[in-house]
Structure 1
Amino acid sequence: MSSPNTLSSAASERPQAGTDRLVLSLTIGFIVLFVGASIYDSKWLASLIGEGFTWTAAYFGSFFQLLLLGTFFVAMAVALGKSAQARLGGLDRPEIGRFRWLSMILCTLLAGGGVFFAAGEPVYHFLVSPPATATEAGTPAAVAPAMAQSFMHWGVLAWAVLGSLTAVVLARAHYGQGKPLQPRTLLFPVFGERAIQGKLGAIIDACCVIAVVAGTVGPIGFLATQMSFGMSELFGLSDGFRTQLIVLVVLAAVYMTSAMTGLHRGIQMLSRFNVFLALAIAAVIIVFGPTLFLADTYLQSMGAYVDDFFTMATMTSQSAPDWWMKWWTVFFFAWFIGYTPLMAVFVARISRGRTIRETILAVAILAPVATTLWFTLLGGSGIYYQLNGVFDLTNALSNFQFDVATLTVAQALPGGTFMAAAILLLTTIFVATTGDSMSYAIAMVGSGHDEPHPGVRVFWGGAMALMAALLLYMGAGQIGVLQQFIVLTAIPVSFIILPSLWTGPRAARALAEEQWLV
């Protein structure tokens, strides 16, 4: 194995590539086309994407579910095998400390929507019983099934697909074989150089970047609306586009600065601060909130999650309403699939020196456990207050107003306005961590190596913020339309990550053989 903090020979000999102009052209072309179509006829665009969303959910929903299930179980098999002792990235010891590394992993995905849905989704499933349960909605018996359904959407299946097998494939090909750190490299073990060179590789990368742009601009835009509403309720500021624009400018400045300073400064610092703030909020809820109710809810919900795991994971429109599958399970699973290649690039980059076992267990087990705990603290508190008549979120959640749900739950927590302001700050920084990590990852894809130029990172961060601003100017509904579009992008992306089901174990075996571990 290589000496500490030394690149493997293949990676060290790899030339530093320039920006891929075709990837840049296709991605910027998508942004311009989407915004232009929204300006020209927003209703037509919304209708077109809505029809595509419905068609995708109907014909690819089951495939997405099977892909996530297969990825999780194959990843667990790899993590428990002998090959899992091999280290990623050609280093003998980790490049980034464990706490910082875990913080970066956790903040990147949880910010993509987990914080936005953590308070409202469990309450929604409490008020509208999920198809997997026959319990009466709004009763004490509905608490555990509601939380369990949220665990299904944000648990092991979601996390495993994001950075387990795909990260192993990319790390081995990039650091061991000198291939570019780009989504196209996921298909190198199958198609060889044909997947790397020429227009095919650029199209593969562009599809993956477009999926992430769609998935990241959404949370950025939703945060602006959530912050605008929150500041209006808490501090009396006007709730409108001007406030939303100010939020966007501040948010973009934070995550663009973080991305520009790189992995070892801004991105790490922002993630660590976010984790500390989340721990402080969690401590307040545990000490002063409905502690016993939350503890009992977590245990019962985790039991229900394990017991009904396959029922919830494999439920289709044959046994559940079409609208429910479309807007919940399929939507979330497609969202995670769309994020996967860029998250894999990011995880492969920050996990240099980590063993395969460490990486897979951190992503597929530890991060989901942390996520379920966070959902229980916020969502479980929301259910408690709803159950006891402190507030009524029925109308808000029937209209999918999760910004209203988050603020309502936050204000009911110990500390009232102070806690609400803290959660709004936490949400802002969580989204900023998604913005900086995805800006960095997109820049890596465009350049093909793991230290992209700071200006390229800033450019992509600014492009996503600008797109969010333009869509918000036309109405918050256009952000929702873009969120639906990520479901369509999941179709090509799913076929890009599908081979990792068998190339992932092969890459792990090859790394172990190269390091004389098997």
Structure 2
Amino acid sequence: MALWSSLALVGLFVIWALASPASMSGAMDAMLAFSTRSFGWFYLWVVFALVLVCFFLVFSRYGNIRLGGDDERPAYDRKSWFSMLFAAGMGIGLMFWGVAEPVSHYLQPPPGVEPVTAAAANASMRYTFFHWGLHPWAIYCTFGLAVAFFQFRRQAPMTISSTLGGLPERWRGKWIVIVDILALVATAFGIATSLGFGAMQINSGLAQLFGIPVGPTSQIIIIVCATIAFLASALSGLDRGVKLLSNINLVIALALAAVVFIVGPTAAILDTLTTSLGGYISEFVRMSLRLTPFTGGGWFADWTIFYWAWWIAWAPYVGLFIARISRGRTIREFLIGAMFVPALTCFVWFAIFGGSALHFDIFQNAGIGQAALKEPSSALFMLFDYLPMKALLSGVATLLVVVFFVTSGDSGVFVMGVISNGGKGDPSARLKLVWGILIALIAIALLLAGGLEAVQAMTILMALPFTVVLVIVVSSVLRAISQDQAEIDETEEALHRALHSQEVRDIVKQHLRARAGKAPDDPR
């Protein structure tokens, strides 16, 4: 039921958007205004609470619980594990916004900050760190933890509805299928959002390299070609296609970042990383709960609320994927590896690319920020104009976006196939093909219905109902973890009592006497 219902909902949207893009765009604008005006506070509180939950689990005794049998060991080594979760988590987003977001904030900073000033530069990097730091990874981790816990410790199917296993029976029932439907729809639009960003970025890279025109026609062709590529990868299987591409991607990304760090303004990059990290830590709580109820304006809706909705829409996809590759790890290792390490990597990435772009804009009047406001996907390639080996860097960056596109798509259709077939092993090739084609059609429809604005609007709208589901899922897994810990404590207490019983002491005494060569009843 979940499969056909979600396919019908997604299909109706695609038909509407392709048949009447203007009507779809107008409807989305109206719904988006209502959503952000009425529920922006809800997004902020939920995501901040998820961060607190992750900190609690890392530093509590619950962190010792293993996602699997008590003696299980991880299926993937840390390098492959990290590269897969990173590539699936936000690779395209880092490429698209790595330069565009900091320079955009510099020209149009958050309320209360004067544009094009040192304060604006500091705020731009601080809020960029905030948007890509612990908060998004906390969303992924809490959801992924729920999936992994119920699948590997309770032997439940790998479905979203299985994560409600910690709730009382009366809260579940036949309506539980609604959870899987919402997860499939949210995931489809979340992945399509990233593919839309990726198509725009690839288009800008090809325009820089070969003069290919930037526009919907080129982007649709890119989506079609990339869809064929990621479907081919998805059909080859997780251990072959996704793992191989993810490892390749990680190497290319690290190499690109290292080159920009070395040939770019190295000292300014290190200063930016240090200052921005300090500002992020000191302003952490304030940024987490900041809106503008008395001054109005849409800055936080355009940026923070959009990001939180985007990450939430991606939570079923990334959560199931990182759960699938994290069997055998403890809760503490899972959270540290999938939350703190990727967040730190994002900080370094934005310091290198965003910090370099800000340096050139401030001290060389490069105009990268103005270009980013008009066409965000072009900002990265404008940065390369101020670095050596411009053509090589542009080519590598374009290749990187293509591979990120493929890894996001193939892991996405794998996860959606798993959800829609009830979590029964690897999904069929036919199911992967259906979801891959639908995701591509959503991305095309969004581009035709309004480009970047339509992509952002639909993400926020689709994520809102799933945010409620996310709250319920986290409540369920916390309750289940507490129950498991209580059982572990009871078992250890029983073992302790048994080891200190008179009968056990007598057995130990007899054993020690036998080893000493004395008779069992010898009083000495």
TM-score of the pair, normalised by structure 1: 0.88
> Shift in Å at residue 222 of structure 1?
2.9
Asked whether the equivalents of residues 3 and 421 of structure 2 are also in contact (C-alpha less than 8 Å), the reply is no
Give matches, 1:461-500, under 5 Å.
461-472=436-447, 475=448, 477=450, 480-500=453-473
1:434 aligned to which of 405, 408, 412: 408
The match for 2:123 is 145
The match for 2:273 is 298
The amino acid of 1:415's aligned partner reads: M
CA distance in 2, matches of 1:493, 1:345: 15
CA distance in 2, matches of 1:345, 1:468: 22
User: Which shows bigger deviation, 112-121 or 53-62?
Assistant: 112-121
The match for 2:218 is 243
Closer/same/farther in 2, CA of residues 112 and 393 from structure 1, 3 Å limit: closer
2:7 aligned to which of 16, 28, 52: 28
User: What RMSD, in angstroms, separates the aligned Cα atoms of the two structures?
Assistant: 2.3
> Shift in Å at residue 259 of structure 1?
1.8
1:115 aligned to which of 92, 95, 108: 95
The answer to whether structure 1 residue 414 and structure 2 residue 394 are counterparts is no
Give matches, 1:241-320, under 5 Å.
241-318=216-293
Asked whether the equivalents of residues 446 and 455 of structure 2 are also in contact (C-alpha less than 8 Å), the reply is no
Closer/same/farther in 2, CA of residues 308 and 240 from structure 1, 3 Å limit: closer
Give matches, 1:40-439, under 5 Å.
40-90=19-69, 92-131=72-111, 134=113, 136-163=114-141, 165-192=142-169, 195=172, 198=174, 200-318=175-293, 321-399=296-374, 401-439=375-413
Asked whether the equivalents of residues 326 and 334 of structure 2 are also in contact (C-alpha less than 8 Å), the reply is yes
User: Which shows bigger deviation, 272-281 or 497-506?
Assistant: 497-506
CA distance in 1, matches of 2:310, 2:350: 18
Asked whether the equivalents of residues 84 and 508 of structure 1 are also in contact (C-alpha less than 8 Å), the reply is no
Asked whether the equivalents of residues 164 and 472 of structure 2 are also in contact (C-alpha less than 8 Å), the reply is yes
Asked whether the equivalents of residues 86 and 515 of structure 1 are also in contact (C-alpha less than 8 Å), the reply is no
Please, which runs of 5 or more residues in structure 1 have no aligned partner? 1-21
> Shift in Å at residue 105 of structure 1?
1.1
CA distance in 2, matches of 1:454, 1:513: 42
The match for 1:9 is none
What is the identity percentage for the equivalent residue pairs of Structure 1 and Structure 2? 28
Alignment size in residue pairs: 489
Larger Rg: 2
The amino acid of 1:122's aligned partner reads: P
> Shift in Å at residue 114 of structure 1?
2.7
> Shift in Å at residue 242 of structure 1?
4.9
CA distance in 2, matches of 1:511, 1:350: 22
CA distance in 2, matches of 1:346, 1:320: 41
CA distance in 2, matches of 1:501, 1:414: 48
The match for 1:16 is none
CA distance in 2, matches of 1:436, 1:479: 23
CA distance in 2, matches of 1:218, 1:341: 14
Asked whether the equivalents of residues 259 and 266 of structure 1 are also in contact (C-alpha less than 8 Å), the reply is yes
> Shift in Å at residue 390 of structure 1?
4.9
Asked whether the equivalents of residues 64 and 334 of structure 1 are also in contact (C-alpha less than 8 Å), the reply is yes
CA distance in 2, matches of 1:241, 1:487: 22
> Shift in Å at residue 180 of structure 1?
2.3
SS at match of 1:351: coil
User: Which shows bigger deviation, 175-184 or 373-382?
Assistant: 175-184
Closer/same/farther in 2, CA of residues 442 and 345 from structure 1, 3 Å limit: same
> Shift in Å at residue 193 of structure 1?
7.7
Asked whether the equivalents of residues 218 and 483 of structure 1 are also in contact (C-alpha less than 8 Å), the reply is yes
The amino acid of 2:461's aligned partner reads: L
2:481 aligned to which of 505, 508, 518: 508
User: Which shows bigger deviation, 485-494 or 56-65?
Assistant: 485-494
CA distance in 2, matches of 1:435, 1:280: 23
CA distance in 2, matches of 1:391, 1:129: 18
> Shift in Å at residue 504 of structure 1?
3.1
User: Which shows bigger deviation, 287-296 or 177-186?
Assistant: 177-186
CA distance in 2, matches of 1:29, 1:318: 38
Asked whether the equivalents of residues 228 and 243 of structure 1 are also in contact (C-alpha less than 8 Å), the reply is yes
Asked whether the equivalents of residues 215 and 483 of structure 1 are also in contact (C-alpha less than 8 Å), the reply is no
CA distance in 1, matches of 2:464, 2:253: 34
The amino acid of 2:166's aligned partner reads: P
CA distance in 2, matches of 1:479, 1:34: 17
The amino acid of 1:381's aligned partner reads: S
SS at match of 1:391: coil
> Shift in Å at residue 354 of structure 1?
0.8
